[in-house]
Amino acid sequence: MSAKLLVVDDILANRRLMQAKLEAKYYSVLLAEDGQKALEIAHADQPGIILLDVMMPGMDGYEVCRRLKADPETAHIPVVMLTALNETADRVRGLEAGADDFLTKPVDDFSLMARIGALNRYNAVAHELRNREANGVRAGALSDDESLALERGANILLIDSREGVANAIREPLEQAGHRVLTLDEADQSTGRGTSHLDIILLSLSHQRFDPLRLCAHFRTTDATRALSIIVMANSSDREIAAQALELGASDIIQTPVVPEELLARVNTQTKRRRYVDILRRRVDRGLELSVVDQLTGLYNRRYMTNQLGLWMKRAAAGNIPLSVIAVDIDHFKQVNDKYGHEAGDRVLQQFAERIQENVRPKDIVCRPGGEEFLVIMPETTGELAGRAAERIRRSIAADRFALDGNGNDVIEVTVSAGVAAYQGEQDTVADILRRADAALYRAKTSGRNRVTNIAA
């Protein structure tokens, strides 16, 4: 998977060497010789990944990373920090500054490409969701609840057949506020959060099972496919670790595990996974908003027009009937004027519920606007649609409508309805809607609280 990468290093030879390695793998490479230049390029060119040297004069890599993550325009870009330092404190400091990964110089080619590959997989999902998401996450528009969700402790499934090692890994995680389950505990659990896992911690070395087969299973199972998988392996199991990354593991921790690094990587992976979840929910919500009227929960005009057109094509192709019912609340303006718009909204919500109670599951109930409603009735003749319209009319008139939440203040409501039917291949969406409106108008001018059927 190709990507655009930014390499930041104050030494020209290092920049050129890294550029050659990456371009040999068909990556597009941008270069920056200092922190300020890196910030400018990141903001202007939006690279997919930033490879950032730590030890630079002036602004060091830690400060560059903090600034990148503090800027809503660049906060989403994964940062891999590169340094000759090999102390745990240095790795943890980088991760706490917001880095997504940390590699020690001289950078091992396999480790570098493996980490880039894992980050590219994450980017592919996050980038697609950001492009489709209409609420501007990249502009920093996380809600308070969403921000809190990123900070909550993780639900972790820990898999290590060595009880003593597993307990040593578990203890610092639980002390930091994370919830940890072993495989046995997950099997015994009756829904106590096992469906809400964030991370799988999978040991690769000295196990009584095949960890790679388990890793592959997690990546091909619907319930676990989206989870972050952190694999733990000792330095002699490099080939196994490489295969785990190829199978979709998100990160690697070298064993014996250092608690500070473990916590930092768990926090990073948890936030990354939850960020993608937030984007997915926003996309789903955006799709819903595009077709659903938020007051009543019925379909809106956009969806109505689209579905009516599709059903008319099916009617033409199969020579099957299709009818629509246009429904309008009588004297609704008086409800708003006398009782206020809040009361009017309550009437509309109850009205929508009663219509839905009196149609079939396959009928499509829409609110194109105001007090106007339309029911699309597939495979239905005009005569049957007229009966359905009369059933709706009687249901509306039978019981009063509450104007407040307690039901103490009620009013009578009536409706008028017009029925029209599909007339053949020459018919258009505009035509059938026009006929339904004409029938509705005739019902209103004839005294209201009645149904006019011009399709029977």
Annotated active-site residue in 239, 371, 390, 412: 371
Phi, then psi, of 81 in degrees rounded to 5: -90, 135
For residue 338, how far is the Cα from the chain centroid?
Answer: 42
For residue 452, how far is the Cα from the chain centroid?
Answer: 45
* Amino acid symbol at 420: A
SS3 content of the chain, % helix, strand, coil (to 5): 50, 20, 30
Give 353's contacts (C-beta < 8 A, 6+ positions apart). Answer: none
CA angle 35, 36, 42 (to 5 degrees): 85
- Other CB atoms within a 10 A radius of the CB of residue 172 amount to 16
Give 49's contacts (C-beta < 8 A, 6+ positions apart). Answer: 3, 5, 6, 77, 78, 79, 80, 116, 119, 120, 123
What DSSP state is assigned to residue 437?
H
Give 144's contacts (C-beta < 8 A, 6+ positions apart). Answer: none
- Other CB atoms within a 10 A radius of the CB of residue 90 amount to 18
What is the Cα–Cα distance from 33 to 223, expressed in whole angstroms? Answer: 44
What is the Cα–Cα distance from 164 to 203, expressed in whole angstroms? Answer: 13
Q: Is residue 30 within 8 Å of residue 41, measured between CB atoms?
A: yes
* Whether residue 239 lies in the annotated active site: no
What DSSP state is assigned to residue 299?
B
Could you give the count of Cα atoms lying within 13 Å of 361 in the half-sphere of its Cβ? 0
Provide long-range contacts, Cβ within 8 A and 24+ apart, for 422-427.
422/312, 422/315, 422/321, 422/322, 422/323, 424/316, 425/316, 427/312
Name the residues annotated as catalytic: 371
